């Protein structure tokens, strides 16, 4: 069972979840699940389709935005931004440890023009460090401001 760490109002990050975690997510008010882990990354992870089916059966939206070794792209940021904009309640992002989900959320927040120190502070309170993507956050924030 993975811990759902609140990053900011409306977003939680988690390590790898199991289909059985979906009921707990729904009970917590989560309305959408975002899978940031590529299928086949580890032998012991459930397939994304297994999580998708459990989410859909529970009435939760499901989106796969796999972040692999090539890192984050603008398309990934825009996809998560769209999920966050369309969600009518909290969103749960998951990967192996929750780090990729939190970094992608940070980039999406910067893309929306949110204060970078506030983003970093929210992530830090949950135990995540966004400094690896800070330069990209700055670029996205600059584009949002223009």
Residue 2: per-residue pLDDT:
84
* Overall size of the chain counted in residues: 146
- Per-residue pLDDT of 72-82, as tens digits, reads 999 999 999 99
Which residue's entry shows tokens 């970094």?
A: 103
Residue 42: per-residue pLDDT:
93
Q: SS in 3 state form for 73-132? A: CHHHHHHHHHHHHHCCCCEEEECCCCHHHHHHHHHHHHHCCCCHHHHHHHHHHCCCCCHH
Instruction: Decide: 59 and 118 in contact? Cβ < 8 Å.
Output: no
Residue 52 has, within 13 A of its CA and on its CB side, a CA count of 11
Average pLDDT, integer, range 88-97: 97
Alpha-carbon distance of 68 to 77, in angstroms, equals 14
Neighbouring CB atoms inside 10 A of 46's CB total: 15
**pLDDT beyond 70 at 146:** no
Of the pLDDT bands very low, low, confident and very high (cuts 50, 70, 90), residue 48 is: very high
Average pLDDT, integer, range 8-25: 96
Q: Which domains does the chain have, with CATH numbers?
A: 5-145 (3.90.190.10)
Burial of 131 (0-12, 13-18, 19+ CB in 10 A): exposed
pLDDT, the chain, mean: 96
Q: Where are the alpha helices (DSSP H) in 1-98?
A: 21-27, 48-57, 74-86
First to last CA, the chain: 43
């Amino acid at each position: 069972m993975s811990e759902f760490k609140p990053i900011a109002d409306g977003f939680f990050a988690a390590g790898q979840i199991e289909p059985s975690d979906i009921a707990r997510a729904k009970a917590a008010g989560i309305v959408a699940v975002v899978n940031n882990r590529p299928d086949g990354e580890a032998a012991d992870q459930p397939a994304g389709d297994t999580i998708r089916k459990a989410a859909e059966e529970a009435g939760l939206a499901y989106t796969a935005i796999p972040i692999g070794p090539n890192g984050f792209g603008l398309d990934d940021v825009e996809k998560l931004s769209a999920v966050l904009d369309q969600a009518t309640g909290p969103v749960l992002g998951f990967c192996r440890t929750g780090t990729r989900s939190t970094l992608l959320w940070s980039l999406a927040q910067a893309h929306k023009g949110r204060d970078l120190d506030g983003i970093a502070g929210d992530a830090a309170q949950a135990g995540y460090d966004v400094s690896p993507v800070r330069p990209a956050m700055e670029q996205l924030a600059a584009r949002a401001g223009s």
